[in-house]
Structure 1
Amino acid sequence: MTLIIEDGTGKLDAESYASAEDLAMYAVKFGVTIPADVPAQEALLRRAALAMDGMTWKGRKSNSEQALSWPRRGVELDYEIKPDNYLPARIPYGQMALAAEIHTDDIDPIERRKGAITRERVEGAVDREYATIPNTSGRLLPAAPDRPSVTQFADYLQRRGLFAVRA
C-alpha cells in the first residue's frame, strides 16, 4: 500500500512526510541500515510518523482535522513567524532518521546491547566486563548523540535542551 505523503496542505489522510524512495536515498547518504523491501520501509515511516505525533511541537496544527502534526501555525523560528503551510525540510529528514533508529532498535534490541567497558584484564585470556544499561521503565533510553532525529527536531519542539522544573 503506497504511503500518502504530507505536502504542506494538511492532508486528512497523510501517513508520512517522506516516501520509501526518500528513505532509501537517506540510508545510502548517511550509511544507515533499513529493510530492503518497500512495504517494510513504508511501515517504518508510518511508525516514525506515529512517534512524531507524540512529540510536543511549537505552534498548533494548521487544521484540526489534518492527520499528522505538521504543517503548523504560529511557529516562531529565529524571531520570524512561519507561514501556516510551512513544512520544514528537517521534519522529513528527522522522520527518516527516526525510522532508521527504530529499525536499529528492532534488529538490535536495547536489552541485548552492552554498555561501556568498565573493566578489562589481560593476562592469559582476556576478561572484559561491560556496564549495565539501565532500562527500568520498559521504554527506550533517551536518544544518544548517535540518534540524529533529535537534532533534526530540536528547533521545532516546544522545549529544547535542558530545563528546570520547580517543585
Structure 2
Amino acid sequence: MTLIIEDGTGKPDAESYATADELALYAVKFGVVIPADVPAHEALLRRAALAMDGMTWKGRKTRSEQALSWPRREVHLDGENKAANYLPARIQYGQLALAAEIHQDDIDPVEKRKGAVTLERVEGAVTREYATIPSTSKRLLPAAPDRPSATQFADYLQRRGLYAVRC
C-alpha cells in the first residue's frame, strides 16, 4: 500500500513525511541497515510517524483534522514566526533517522545490549564494565546509545535537553 505523504497542507489521511525511496536513500547515505522491501520501509515510516505524534512539539496543529503533528502554526524559531504550512526538512530527516532506529531496535538481539556503565578505570588501559540486563527485563534500553532523530527534532520540541525545576 502506498504511503500518503504530508505536503504541508495538513492532510487528514497523511501517514508519513517521507517516502520509502527516501528511506532507502537515507540508509545508503548514512550506512544504516533497513529491510530490503518497500512494504517494510513503509511500515517503518508509519511506525516512526506514530512515535513522532507522541512528542510535544512547539506551536499547535494547523488544522484540527490533520493526521500528523506537522504542519504547525505559532512556531517561533530562529527569531521569526514560521508560516502555518511550514514543514521543516529536519522533521522529514528526523523521521528517516527514527525509522532506521526503530528497525535497529527490532533486529538487535537483547543479549547483545549493554546496560549503564557501572565501572570505568583508567590506569594505562581503560576498563569498562556494563550492568547486566536480563532478557526478561521490562526496562530494556534502546539499542543505539545515540539517536540522530533526537538531534533533528531538538529545535522543534517544546523542551530541548535538560531543564531544572526550581523548588
TM-score, with length taken from structure 1: 0.85
Aligned to 1:138: 139
Letter matched to residue 7 of structure 1:
D
- Name the residue aligned to 1:3: 3
Asked if the contact 2:13/2:66 (under 8 Å) is kept, the reply is yes
Alpha-carbon deviations, 1:69-124, whole Å to 9, x = none?
000000000110000000000001000000000000000045641356958xxxxx
Whole-angstrom distance in 2 between the partners of 1:56 and 1:109:
30
Gaps of 5+ in 2: 121-126
Rounded Cα–Cα distance in structure 2 between residues aligned with 1:143 and 1:75: 30
Q: Equivalents in 2 of 1:99, 1:139: separation in Å?
A: 19
The aligned counterpart of 1:70 is 70
Q: What is the rounded CA distance, in whole Å, between the counterparts of 2:98 and 2:43 in structure 1? A: 12
Please state how far the C-alpha of 1:29 moved relative to its aligned partner.
0.5
The runs of 4+ residues in structure 1 deviating greater than 2 Å are 109-112, 114-119, 133-144
Counterpart-to-counterpart distance in 2, 1:59 and 1:72:
6
State whether residues 3 and 15 of structure 1, in contact with CA within 8 Å, keep that contact through their aligned partners in structure 2: yes
- Unaligned stretches of 5+ residues in structure 1: 120-127
Q: Using the aligned pairs only, state the percent identity.
A: 73
Alignment of 1:16-165 (within 5 A): 16-110=16-110, 112-115=112-115, 118=119, 130-132=129-131, 138=139, 140-141=141-142, 144=145, 146-165=146-165
Opposite residue 132 of structure 1, the aligned amino acid is: A
CA contact (8 A) 1:91 1:153 kept: yes
Number of residue pairs the alignment of both structures matches: 159
